Amino acid sequence: MDSDFILRFRNGKVNGMNFNVDLMVNSFPLLLLGAGITIKITALSVALGVVIGLFAGIARISNIRLLRAVSAVYVDFFRGTPLLVQIFLVYFALPVVTGQRVDPFVAAIGACGINSGAYIAEIFRAGIQSIDAGQMEAGRSLGMTWGQTMRYIIVPQAFNRVIPPLGNEFIALLKDSSLVSVIGFEELTRRGQLIIAKTYGSLEIWLSVALIYLVMTLTISRFVAYLERRFNADDKH
Protein backbone atom coordinates (compact mmCIF):
# COMPACT_ATOMS: atom_id res chain seq x y z
CA MET A 1 0.00 0.00 0.00
CA ASP A 2 1.65 3.27 -1.13
CA SER A 3 1.95 6.38 1.00
CA ASP A 4 -0.33 8.39 -1.31
CA PHE A 5 -3.21 5.95 -0.73
CA ILE A 6 -2.67 6.08 3.04
CA LEU A 7 -2.68 9.88 2.97
CA ARG A 8 -5.89 9.99 0.92
CA PHE A 9 -7.49 7.39 3.23
CA ARG A 10 -6.72 9.42 6.34
CA ASN A 11 -8.14 12.50 4.67
CA GLY A 12 -11.31 10.62 3.73
CA LYS A 13 -10.83 10.91 0.01
CA VAL A 14 -10.72 7.33 -1.21
CA ASN A 15 -13.00 6.82 -4.22
CA GLY A 16 -15.06 9.84 -3.21
CA MET A 17 -15.86 8.36 0.20
CA ASN A 18 -15.90 10.74 3.15
CA PHE A 19 -14.22 8.71 5.86
CA ASN A 20 -12.44 10.39 8.75
CA VAL A 21 -9.96 8.05 10.43
CA ASP A 22 -8.89 10.77 12.86
CA LEU A 23 -12.49 11.00 14.11
CA MET A 24 -12.44 7.29 14.92
CA VAL A 25 -9.12 7.60 16.74
CA ASN A 26 -10.16 10.68 18.70
CA SER A 27 -13.54 9.20 19.63
CA PHE A 28 -12.18 5.89 20.92
CA PRO A 29 -11.41 7.10 24.48
CA LEU A 30 -15.00 8.31 24.96
CA LEU A 31 -16.40 5.15 23.40
CA LEU A 32 -14.21 2.98 25.62
CA LEU A 33 -15.63 4.76 28.67
CA GLY A 34 -19.08 3.85 27.40
CA ALA A 35 -17.91 0.27 26.83
CA GLY A 36 -16.80 0.09 30.46
CA ILE A 37 -20.28 1.16 31.56
CA THR A 38 -21.81 -1.42 29.20
CA ILE A 39 -19.71 -4.18 30.78
CA LYS A 40 -20.64 -2.96 34.26
CA ILE A 41 -24.36 -2.99 33.43
CA THR A 42 -24.08 -6.44 31.87
CA ALA A 43 -22.08 -7.97 34.72
CA LEU A 44 -24.40 -6.64 37.43
CA SER A 45 -27.50 -7.61 35.45
CA VAL A 46 -26.27 -11.15 34.84
CA ALA A 47 -25.28 -11.47 38.53
CA LEU A 48 -28.81 -10.44 39.50
CA GLY A 49 -30.19 -12.73 36.82
CA VAL A 50 -28.20 -15.72 38.12
CA VAL A 51 -29.59 -15.25 41.64
CA ILE A 52 -33.16 -14.87 40.39
CA GLY A 53 -32.76 -17.57 37.75
CA LEU A 54 -31.35 -20.14 40.17
CA PHE A 55 -34.30 -19.84 42.55
CA ALA A 56 -36.82 -19.61 39.70
CA GLY A 57 -35.26 -22.61 37.96
CA ILE A 58 -35.46 -24.71 41.12
CA ALA A 59 -39.02 -23.50 41.69
CA ARG A 60 -39.92 -24.67 38.17
CA ILE A 61 -39.24 -28.28 39.19
CA SER A 62 -40.40 -27.97 42.79
CA ASN A 63 -43.03 -30.28 44.24
CA ILE A 64 -44.93 -27.23 45.50
CA ARG A 65 -47.56 -26.29 42.91
CA LEU A 66 -47.71 -22.61 43.94
CA LEU A 67 -43.97 -22.18 43.41
CA ARG A 68 -44.17 -23.85 40.01
CA ALA A 69 -47.06 -21.60 38.99
CA VAL A 70 -45.40 -18.35 40.14
CA SER A 71 -42.10 -19.19 38.47
CA ALA A 72 -43.88 -20.21 35.26
CA VAL A 73 -45.75 -16.89 35.12
CA TYR A 74 -42.51 -14.99 35.75
CA VAL A 75 -40.58 -16.86 33.06
CA ASP A 76 -43.38 -16.68 30.49
CA PHE A 77 -43.99 -12.96 31.02
CA PHE A 78 -40.39 -11.77 30.85
CA ARG A 79 -39.45 -14.10 28.01
CA GLY A 80 -42.63 -13.24 26.13
CA THR A 81 -42.33 -9.44 26.23
CA PRO A 82 -39.60 -7.27 24.67
CA LEU A 83 -36.78 -6.06 26.90
CA LEU A 84 -37.39 -2.52 25.63
CA VAL A 85 -40.96 -2.60 26.97
CA GLN A 86 -39.69 -3.90 30.30
CA ILE A 87 -37.20 -1.03 30.52
CA PHE A 88 -40.05 1.42 29.89
CA LEU A 89 -42.16 -0.28 32.56
CA VAL A 90 -39.40 0.03 35.17
CA TYR A 91 -38.29 3.56 34.27
CA PHE A 92 -41.57 5.25 33.30
CA ALA A 93 -44.45 3.16 34.68
CA LEU A 94 -43.03 2.15 38.07
CA PRO A 95 -42.67 5.78 39.28
CA VAL A 96 -46.38 6.28 38.54
CA VAL A 97 -47.17 3.46 40.97
CA THR A 98 -44.59 4.28 43.66
CA GLY A 99 -44.59 8.06 43.29
CA GLN A 100 -40.77 8.10 43.23
CA ARG A 101 -38.40 8.59 40.32
CA VAL A 102 -36.25 5.60 39.40
CA ASP A 103 -32.56 6.29 38.78
CA PRO A 104 -31.57 5.35 35.20
CA PHE A 105 -28.76 3.10 36.45
CA VAL A 106 -31.10 1.25 38.80
CA ALA A 107 -33.72 0.97 36.07
CA ALA A 108 -31.15 -0.43 33.63
CA ILE A 109 -29.81 -3.03 36.08
CA GLY A 110 -33.28 -3.95 37.33
CA ALA A 111 -34.91 -4.38 33.93
CA CYS A 112 -31.97 -6.23 32.37
CA GLY A 113 -31.42 -8.38 35.47
CA ILE A 114 -35.05 -9.44 35.79
CA ASN A 115 -35.22 -10.15 32.06
CA SER A 116 -32.01 -12.17 32.17
CA GLY A 117 -33.27 -14.10 35.19
CA ALA A 118 -36.16 -15.50 33.17
CA TYR A 119 -33.79 -16.97 30.58
CA ILE A 120 -31.30 -18.15 33.19
CA ALA A 121 -34.14 -19.89 35.05
CA GLU A 122 -34.69 -22.11 32.04
CA ILE A 123 -30.95 -22.68 31.73
CA PHE A 124 -30.73 -23.88 35.34
CA ARG A 125 -33.92 -25.93 35.01
CA ALA A 126 -32.50 -27.77 32.01
CA GLY A 127 -29.14 -28.20 33.74
CA ILE A 128 -30.71 -29.64 36.88
CA GLN A 129 -32.96 -31.98 34.93
CA SER A 130 -29.93 -33.24 32.97
CA ILE A 131 -28.49 -34.72 36.18
CA ASP A 132 -29.33 -38.39 36.63
CA ALA A 133 -32.36 -38.94 38.87
CA GLY A 134 -30.33 -41.44 40.86
CA GLN A 135 -28.32 -38.56 42.33
CA MET A 136 -31.41 -37.25 44.10
CA GLU A 137 -32.33 -40.73 45.28
CA ALA A 138 -28.81 -41.26 46.60
CA GLY A 139 -28.91 -38.01 48.54
CA ARG A 140 -32.30 -38.80 50.04
CA SER A 141 -31.12 -42.29 51.02
CA LEU A 142 -28.30 -40.65 53.00
CA GLY A 143 -30.87 -38.77 55.07
CA MET A 144 -30.65 -35.44 53.24
CA THR A 145 -33.72 -33.35 52.62
CA TRP A 146 -34.78 -32.39 49.09
CA GLY A 147 -33.28 -28.92 49.59
CA GLN A 148 -30.00 -30.25 50.97
CA THR A 149 -29.65 -32.69 48.08
CA MET A 150 -30.23 -29.85 45.64
CA ARG A 151 -27.72 -27.59 47.37
CA TYR A 152 -24.88 -30.04 47.93
CA ILE A 153 -25.24 -32.60 45.12
CA ILE A 154 -27.46 -31.56 42.21
CA VAL A 155 -26.79 -27.83 41.74
CA PRO A 156 -22.94 -28.09 41.86
CA GLN A 157 -23.02 -30.73 39.13
CA ALA A 158 -25.57 -28.80 37.08
CA PHE A 159 -23.52 -25.61 37.31
CA ASN A 160 -20.69 -27.17 35.30
CA ARG A 161 -23.14 -28.00 32.52
CA VAL A 162 -24.75 -24.56 32.34
CA ILE A 163 -21.52 -22.59 31.86
CA PRO A 164 -21.77 -22.47 28.02
CA PRO A 165 -25.41 -21.27 27.93
CA LEU A 166 -24.67 -18.79 30.73
CA GLY A 167 -21.84 -17.42 28.63
CA ASN A 168 -24.20 -17.10 25.68
CA GLU A 169 -26.69 -15.26 27.88
CA PHE A 170 -23.95 -12.86 29.00
CA ILE A 171 -23.07 -12.11 25.37
CA ALA A 172 -26.73 -11.68 24.39
CA LEU A 173 -27.34 -9.29 27.28
CA LEU A 174 -24.14 -7.40 26.49
CA LYS A 175 -25.60 -6.55 23.09
CA ASP A 176 -29.15 -6.03 24.37
CA SER A 177 -27.87 -3.56 26.98
CA SER A 178 -27.71 -1.02 24.15
CA LEU A 179 -31.48 -0.66 24.65
CA VAL A 180 -30.95 1.23 27.91
CA SER A 181 -29.79 4.16 25.78
CA VAL A 182 -33.48 5.00 25.27
CA ILE A 183 -33.68 6.21 28.89
CA GLY A 184 -30.63 8.42 28.45
CA PHE A 185 -28.11 6.13 30.14
CA GLU A 186 -24.69 6.74 28.61
CA GLU A 187 -23.42 3.28 27.79
CA LEU A 188 -21.53 2.50 24.58
CA THR A 189 -24.40 2.99 22.12
CA ARG A 190 -25.56 6.21 23.77
CA ARG A 191 -22.02 7.59 23.74
CA GLY A 192 -21.89 6.86 20.03
CA GLN A 193 -25.16 8.72 19.48
CA LEU A 194 -23.92 11.77 21.39
CA ILE A 195 -20.66 11.89 19.43
CA ILE A 196 -22.56 11.61 16.13
CA ALA A 197 -24.83 14.47 17.17
CA LYS A 198 -21.76 16.71 17.49
CA THR A 199 -19.62 15.44 14.61
CA TYR A 200 -22.12 14.00 12.10
CA GLY A 201 -19.67 11.13 11.56
CA SER A 202 -22.21 8.30 11.49
CA LEU A 203 -20.10 5.85 9.47
CA GLU A 204 -16.95 6.28 11.54
CA ILE A 205 -18.65 6.21 14.94
CA TRP A 206 -21.01 3.31 14.30
CA LEU A 207 -18.14 1.32 12.81
CA SER A 208 -16.10 2.04 15.94
CA VAL A 209 -19.01 1.01 18.18
CA ALA A 210 -19.46 -2.22 16.21
CA LEU A 211 -15.75 -3.05 16.48
CA ILE A 212 -15.77 -2.49 20.24
CA TYR A 213 -18.82 -4.74 20.65
CA LEU A 214 -17.13 -7.37 18.48
CA VAL A 215 -13.95 -7.32 20.58
CA MET A 216 -15.96 -7.63 23.81
CA THR A 217 -18.10 -10.52 22.58
CA LEU A 218 -15.13 -12.42 21.13
CA THR A 219 -13.20 -11.97 24.38
CA ILE A 220 -16.10 -13.28 26.44
CA SER A 221 -16.59 -16.21 24.05
CA ARG A 222 -12.94 -17.22 24.41
CA PHE A 223 -13.13 -16.89 28.19
CA VAL A 224 -16.26 -19.06 28.38
CA ALA A 225 -14.61 -21.67 26.15
CA TYR A 226 -11.60 -21.67 28.50
CA LEU A 227 -13.85 -22.16 31.54
CA GLU A 228 -15.68 -25.00 29.80
CA ARG A 229 -12.40 -26.79 29.02
CA ARG A 230 -11.19 -26.20 32.57
CA PHE A 231 -14.30 -27.67 34.20
CA ASN A 232 -14.39 -30.59 31.76
CA ALA A 233 -10.76 -31.34 32.62
CA ASP A 234 -11.54 -31.23 36.35
CA ASP A 235 -14.44 -33.65 35.86
CA LYS A 236 -12.14 -36.21 34.25
CA HIS A 237 -9.75 -36.26 37.22
Q: Residue 131 gets which letter from DSSP?
A: S
- For range 159-177, the mean pLDDT: 90
Residues of the domain holding 59: 38-185
* Residues 194, 209 contacting (CB under 8 angstroms): no
What pLDDT does 5 receive? 41
Confidence of residue 234 (pLDDT cuts 50, 70, 90): low
* Residues 31, 191 contacting (CB under 8 angstroms): yes
Kindly state whether residue 103 falls inside one of the protein's structural domains: yes
In this prediction the pTM is 0.84
Kindly state whether residue 101 falls inside one of the protein's structural domains: yes
CATH code, 118:
1.10.3720.10
- Max Cα separation, the chain? 80
Number of compact structural domains in the chain: 1
- Which range, of 6-20, 102-116, 166-180, averages the lowest pLDDT? 6-20
Kindly state whether residue 197 falls inside one of the protein's structural domains: no
* Residues 17, 5 contacting (CB under 8 angstroms): no
Backbone angles phi, psi at 13, to 5 degrees: -125, 45
- Digit-coded pLDDT (tens) for 126-155: 998 888 888 888 888 888 888 888 888 888
Q: Residue 180 gets which letter from DSSP?
A: G
Amino acid (1-letter code) at residue 113: G
Kindly state whether residue 149 falls inside one of the protein's structural domains: yes
What pLDDT does 1 receive? 45
Kindly state whether residue 60 falls inside one of the protein's structural domains: yes
- Across 1-15, 74-88, 158-172, the highest mean pLDDT is recorded for 74-88
Kindly state whether residue 205 falls inside one of the protein's structural domains: no
Is pLDDT above 60 for 8?
no
